[in-house]
Amino acid sequence: LGGHGVGKYSLHTGIFIPNYDNHDNHELKEDDMVAIEPFATTGKGSVVSSNSVKIHSFTEKKPVRSPSARKIQEYIMKNFNTLPFAEHQLQPSFKNSEIRFGIAELIRAGALHSYPLLREASNGVVSQAEHTVLVKDEPIITTN
């Protein structure tokens, strides 16, 4: 895990910024956009996928049978495009049962890509932060 490039409708592009010195001499160029993403843990520092999946991204529109899956698919396309979203972000507009069954149908249809939650391999506590940086010559602009 580490920092990464950021692009339009793509949160993880080709640039990787490790949280340790890997002796890579790559220099960022003007107009590169990157997310600096440090992680700290009380564990060993390795991650594994858990069985829990709550984050998805839209891949392509697919024909689905249920009205709730169709409505959720349209909502995702309109509000998130191909950006990842968490299931709880659908709650203001849909009932939990609609979300559960609609998401399952969209996954089976191939309309969604799912991301398993990661956990520290030795069950250590993990702290993570992320800050986006746009590389420019001048001036330096920081955001909150």
pLDDT of residue 144: 64
What angle, 0 to 180 degrees and rounded to 10, lies between the N-to-C axes of helices 67-79 and 96-109? 80
Predicted confidence (pLDDT) at residue 108 exceeds the cutoff of 90: yes
Q: What's the pTM value of the predicted model, to 2 decimals?
A: 0.73
Query: Alpha-carbon distance 113 to 56, whole Å?
Result: 5
Residue 13 one-letter amino acid:
T
pLDDT tens string 75-87:
999 999 988 999 9
Domains of the chain, first to last: 2-38+129-134 (no CATH), 49-118 (1.10.10.10)
Query: Alpha-carbon distance 42 to 46, whole Å?
Result: 11
Contact 61, 111 (CB under 8 A): yes
Average pLDDT over residues 65-78: 97
Tokens (6 digits) for 54: 């709550």
Mean pLDDT of the chain: 89
pLDDT of residue 38: 87
